[in-house]
Amino acid sequence: MLKINYKKFFRIILFFPLIFYFGKRSYIAYDEGVYALQARWILEKGNWVVPLWWGDFNLDRTIGVQFLIAKSQEIFGKNFFAAYLPTTISAVIMLFITYKLHEELIGKKFAITSPLILSTTYLWFDYSHLATQDLIYSCLVTIGVFSLVKINSNKNKFYILLFGIWIGLAFMMKTFLVGVPLAALLPYLIKKKSLVFTKIFWIGLIIGFIPFLLWAYYLNSYIDKNIIFYLFDKFITLSKNNTFTNPFYYYLWNIPITFLPWSIFSLIGIISSNLKNKNNKFILNYFPLILISILSIFSTKTPYYPLQISPILSLNSYLGIEYLFSSKSYKSVVVFITSKLIPILIISLVIVYLIFFRSSLNFTFKENIFIISGLISFSIAWSLINKKRKIKQIILTLIIGPYLLTSLLLQSGLFTDRSRELRETMEYLSSLDVLKNQVIKVDKSGLNNGDNMSKLIKISLLTPNLGEVISSTEALNESDLAWSTLSSEDIYETDSFQIIYDHQILSPWKLVRKN
């Protein structure tokens, strides 16, 4: 008779409210809208090799995540769930590997804590619900770190093979960025220098690069030079001053904010683990610190680059919690801050929001209820912490607050239905009888700035029958429909076009028909 391990079953179910959302979804424009649109063109054009962009080739990145989204939609249908499935699977794997890393580096006791911490950090929670390659790439880095930790000798052939494989797969996701975690792991690799001389490692490395090599081979017939040169050009552009250039101290404030509410605990954990866990300091201390230092030197700095070290920061958060709440010197102060100051701060923010910002932020009634309920739940949970409780009870109480907040935020739709007003407008437009089965083309001449592009990406993804891209409205045939940025004055003056639909949410784009 099959026996159910209820403890393991409960641990799995515990993550469902943080990972799965079955309500209505909508994309943001950058970057998930870009990838979702390219995946749509893969399926519609049948071209699985060239990343397309409004009728042109887009050669500044690989086709990795677009391919995964398209393949998922080919198998499971052209729907949002399928589009997000590659990210969702990566999120589940990343949480599991974080659990296993906790067991390896800290111990089996409270191992569930680290993945729970990770799943309730703003950075991970945000990107685990975006159809981009960032979480997939970070999952691969986490697998690489775990496989390296598991290699105790040349007899660990599976993990040696795995450590080789992840490098090529990560390159397919983020190309040259894979060099950053490898450089950050260098002290540990030097310690295990025999690893790179094993045949099984090189076999794994070759296996990992097979998807990229096959793609580059088939792509060669479409382009004038090898794709590696285009990718290198993009790398050079990112290494110089650009829109995403930030000062060297960017991550000193950005990581503490994006890793809320566990930032201080993680910092304390890094310091305390360096003193106590000398055998694990290469992974727990050197790896995240070196990686942040390298990223700080690089010109382009974004909030999601540190996502690849978020599992290690989660482990350090647990160590920080354990250290502070077990310390006779700091426990009283930490209990006062977490159980008094932070709940008061959260309640104050709720009151300020209700009085001054509720009308301006334009959240729905449902969103307001979920946000406020989540914040109040957080403050109530942390207010129950007291110094008489045992460490196990304190850890449980600390987790409950962020867990309830993030679960409610996900179910509110704020992290999944990110373009709600535009989605609702497009749903109404698509329901009109006049547009049933009508192909809508796109006037490319309106793509003259970032705002226009951003809006069109979201419109195009919600257009049921998206047609070809045209150079201008002059290329339209009689009765053709198109998204265009023609002004109302120009349309009325020429009498060549008719405005079918015009709405402020879609501005400056209008749906026009050629007379």
Pair type for strands 497-501 and 510-514: antiparallel
**Angstrom distance (rounded) from CA 448 to CA 389:** 61
Residue 277: what pLDDT? 64
Residues 6+ apart with CB under 8 A from 458: 26, 27, 28, 29, 33, 419, 422
SS3 438: coil
pTM of the model: 0.93
**What is the layout of strands, in order, in the sheet containing 510-514?**
466-470, 440-443, 481-484, 510-514, 497-501
- How high is the mean pLDDT in each 10-residue block of the chain (515 residues)? 65 88 88 94 94 89 95 94 95 96 91 95 94 96 94 82 95 94 91 84 95 94 90 87 87 93 93 73 91 93 93 95 88 91 94 85 87 93 87 91 94 90 92 85 88 92 91 86 86 80 91 88
Three-state SS annotation for 474-506: HHCCCCCEEEECCCHHHHHHHCCEEEEECCHHH
The confidence score (pLDDT) of residue 32 equals 93
pLDDT the model gives residue 3: 54
Write down the residue that tokens 């096959």 correspond to: 214
Which candidate, 115, 111, 110, places its Cα nearest to that of 394? 110
